[in-house]
Every structure is written in C-alpha cells, then in structure tokens.
Chains A and B, each alone.
Chain A
Amino acid sequence: MAEKILMKGNEAIAHGAIRCGADGYFGYPITPQSEVMETLMEEKPWETTGMVVLQAESETSSINMVYGGASTGKKVMTSSSSLGISLMAEGLSYLAGAELPCVVVNVMRGGPGLGTIQPSQADYFQAVKGGGHGDYKMIVLAPASAQDMYDFVGKGFDLAFKYRNPVMILSDGVIGQMMEKVELGEMKPRRTSEEVAQQCPWALTGKHSGRNRNIITSLALDPNVQEKTNQRLQAKYAEIEKNEVICQTYRTEDAEHLFVAYGSMSRICEAVVDQAREAGYKVGLLRPVTLYPYPTANIQALVPQLKSIMAVEMSAGQMVEDVRLAVEGKVPVNFYGRMGGMIPSPDDIFEAFVKSINK
C-alpha cells in the first residue's frame, strides 16, 4: 500500500494534478487556497513530468490561459477562491460555450465582495446555477476530505474530457486548510502529442492534410446555428444528469429525519447524526458528492420514510432550494446555516435540528 502523507486539502489538489498527468496549471494567489500553487512551485513538476505551472497576472488571465491550453486538448486547470472565481466567470461561460474540458477549483471563502478569508459555501448558486452568462452547466464535485481533493482532480479531468465540459471542484476553507492523511495514487504519465491528437480529434493540434480544419469558438452570429449549439449542450447535460450523479448516505436505512449537506458540512453532520442517534432520534445523512448533476432521485427515494429534512450549509440557504425542488413539498424541508465565515459546531446543528422537529 502506498505511503500515507499528512497534508492540507490544498496540497492534495497540487499532488493530484501532477500525478494524474496534468499538462498545465495557471493561477493567481488568494487565501484560503494559495497552497495549491505554492505546492506546485515547490514540487517543480516541469522538471519531472513537464507540467507547466504559471502564476498569471490575474484571475482573468488564468482562466483565459486555461481556455487556450484546453483548446489544444491539454489537461489544464486553475484554482482560486470565491471573488477570484467571480473574475473568471466570463471565461467559464466561454469554456462551456466552446465545449472545452478543464478543471477549476474554488476553495470558497465568505462573501459577498471581498468578504472574509474564513470558510463558506455561499458560491453554490454561482457554481451550480451559472455564474457566467448563458444556458450552461459545469459538472460540480464537492470534496469532503483531503483525499477527495486529491482524487477529484483526476476524476474531474476524466469527466471534463468525457463530456468536453468544464468541471468545478467546489471546496471550502475547511477542506483546503485541514490536514489529513492522503494516499497518493500512482503517477500517470502526461499524454503524448499523438495521444492528444487521437483522443481529442476536435482539438487544435495543427492542421494536416488528413483532416478538416478544427474551429474552437463560442461565437455563432446566426441564431439558427446558436440554437443548435444550445440544443447540443442541453442534450449533453441530460446525458450527464443520467450518468454521473454521485452521492453518499450515512445511517439512512431506518432514518425518519434526514440531513442533506455537502463538503465540510457533510463531515460535521455525520457527527451530528451519531449525536442525534444517541439521543434517540432516527436520523441519517445524504451527502451529494456531485452538486451538478444533483442527486435529486436519491433524495426522492428516501422521501416516503421521512418526517423531515434539514439542509445544512455555510450559506444563507442555497442548496436547500434543490432539496425543495426534489421533494416537491412532500415532506417539510428545514434549513440551518451560518454565514460570513462562521463554522457551525455539531452542537449548533443538533440544537437547530431538535428545534425544527418540535416546532
């Protein structure tokens, strides 16, 4: 078995990138995710795998460098935090419109505006419902441990290339800054130019007589053409919704009450489930691992056995809207959240839960 190393979630992102054979990282420092680029700079992958690591002059540059790299079929990524992701929003929409694969990591902090550097989950809407303009979707993965941070980079690239679509890893300051054991997987070599040309026939790999010119663009002035693009995107999103939902459950078999929480909050709710069970409440937890596509059907399947649901987020209540859409009013959906960088403790959540079912 591979050695287990104590590292921060942010460091795990960097190691995940190198070891899954990423070709390039473009970023700009921001707390609480600066260790991603710091670790990459320390590891110097350009000397080993040939991976490019570049500090751009801004987040806007980073995302457009990602656009350029992705156009050539390379595995490229960036990372930032909340306000930095806002600066990238235009680029994300362009990447989605041009159907380019990439991985974007958001280690969320409290907002709006400059906000705080403390953890938050208030960018759920931005990640899942848009952020940039136009009818587009990103595949959104929500890690809950340092190991997830490591694993989701490789997984993210697999999904990004499978669907030619941006993938966002939506993390937060807790998961980014916390150290845990991480088991590093095997080192996957970067793809050769031949492999890229073969696996990504759409990519800009240099035109030769064997094929027609490839065009990467999100521009279609003719609305007939643009509508066809939109229809193709929507068909792709339907495929993603059919195939790629991931969620985990904890002690739901006989649960009468359900917590729904993702990322760091799912970890805290796991402790609350144990605490509530000890106090005699039949409680379980559903953790969406993919936030888009959302585990709507998994929640619906539990509805007949439930008396109530409580969504827990470090936000004013964003994901809870998707829980409500899933249950269609068949069971009361309560919400508990803290904002602005405050992290709820297990006791805070337990107390809110007891209050919610006795009201």
Chain B
Amino acid sequence: MKEELIIAGFGGQGVLSMGKILAYSGIMQDKEVTWMPSYGPEMRGGTANVTVILSDKKIGSPILSKCDTAIILNQQSMDKFEGMVKPGGLLIYDPNGITRHPERKDINICSIEAAEESARIGNLKAFNMIVLGAFLKKKPVVSMESVVKGLKKSLPERHHHLIPMNEQAIKIGMDKVVDTNVL
C-alpha cells in the first residue's frame, strides 16, 4: 500500500494539521510516513499545501511529480494541483469559493461542502476534519481507531477534550461527500 496525497488551501484552514493527523494515524498502523509542508509566508494567510505519503515500505522521495489524491480547498490550489493527480486518481474539493470546477474526465472527483457543514454545526474549526472524513470515506487508508489515536498524539493534552467533536466532524464528512465524476 502506498498513498501519495497533496492537501492544499488557504493558510488557517488547517491544511497542515490535517496532514499531520493523517500522518500520525499512519504511524499508529505502523506505516512509513512523510509530511512535507510548504513553509514560510503561506502560514500567514496565503496558500498552504502539504504533501503526505503513507506507505508499507520505506519512502524515497518526499517530493512528488504526480499524486494519487489531491484535496483542494481554494481556487489557486485547483489551478496548481488539478493536473498533478494521476490518471485514475482522486480529487476532493470544497466547492465553496471555487470559480472554476475541476474539468478532468480521467480521474474520480468528489465534492464536500465542508465550509457549509462546519458553519451549520457552529464550529468553523471542524472544517479540516470534515474534509478528512470525506477523504477517508473514499480512501480508507487508515482506520477511525488510528485517527483517534493520531489525534491524541498530535494534539496537546489540553485539547484532548475536543477529540469527540473531531470524530463527529470526520463522520459528517464521510456522510456528506458527493461523487461528481466517477470513472
């Protein structure tokens, strides 16, 4: 098993931490992982992206030419990363704020209204976990149990009371993800 994904959006959307939770969940299942962020001004409101690789074997390059999955959360990232998905791969996006929807016909495409759902439950910070839920529904590369363990590892102890809320958000994402192009 090897899953190479790129998560991209605005700084502040929780892109990097979503990748970190996924990476930690992989470690809980004894997988090899790499998490390579864009760093620098992105963290202060521009675009941010992270490359996460989960694999049963030792990982060579942490930098990708093509990815299995792209999770895209703003227009700039759509323009940059839609073309990087391998044919037959998966693109997940939140249509909120997207002016040009993905056009490729050779990949699976799903949408998740994560911004809307997070507003509906009154917790905008749950946004990234809703997106993670959508991804895990489509590609269950790690179990829910591992994700909860991963959350425990990546969150400081003072935030552990938020884990059930995060779990709930992941489940919402799993329920609300919609296929828009199926191969």
Q: Interface residues, chain A, CB within 8 Å of chain B?
A: 4, 6, 31-32, 117-118, 173-174, 177-181, 264, 267-272, 274, 343-348
Contacts and interface: CB of A to CB of B under 8 A. Distances in A.
B14 to A, nearest CB: 16
Given A267-B60, A345-B63, A346-B61, A179 B40 contact: no
Nearest to B150: A6
B32 A177 contact: no
A177 B24 contact: no
A4 B63 CA distance: 22
Interface centre among A4, A173, A178, A274 (most CB of B within 10 A): A178
A6 B154 contact: yes
A257 B24 CA distance: 37
Contacts of A345: 63-65
Interface residues of B, number: 21
Given A178-B36, A264-B63, A271-B61, 8 more contacts: A6-B154, A178-B62, A179-B33, A179-B34, A264-B62, A267-B60, A271-B60, A348-B65
A177 B37 contact: yes
Q: Is the contact region of chain B dominated by helix, strand, or loop, or is it mixed?
A: mixed
The 4 closest A-B pairs by CB, nearest first: A271-B61, A347-B65, A270-B60, A179-B35
Given A4-B27, A180-B34, A181-B27, A174 B40 contact: no
Contacts of B171: none
Contact of B63 (A118, A180, A181, A343): A343
21 contacts: A4-B27, A6-B20, A6-B23, A6-B154, A31-B39, A174-B36, A178-B34, A178-B36, A178-B62, A179-B36, A180-B34, A180-B35, A267-B60, A267-B62, A267-B63, A268-B60, A271-B60, A271-B61, A345-B64, A345-B65, A347-B66
A177 B39 contact: yes
B85 to A, nearest CB: 14
A80 B52 CA distance: 26
A172 to B, nearest CB: 12
Contacts of B65: 345-348
B64 A346 contact: yes
Contacts of B23: 6, 179
Interface centre among A6, A173, A269 (most CB of B within 10 A): A6
A117 B39 contact: yes
Interface in B64-87: 64-66
A208 B132 CA distance: 66
Contacts of A177: 36-37, 39
B60 A181 contact: no
A320 to B, nearest CB: 20
B155 to A, nearest CB: 13
A267 B40 contact: no
Interface in B2-52: 20, 23-24, 27, 32-37, 39-40
B137 interface: no
B153 interface: yes
A43 to B, nearest CB: 14
Contacts of B27: 4, 6, 181
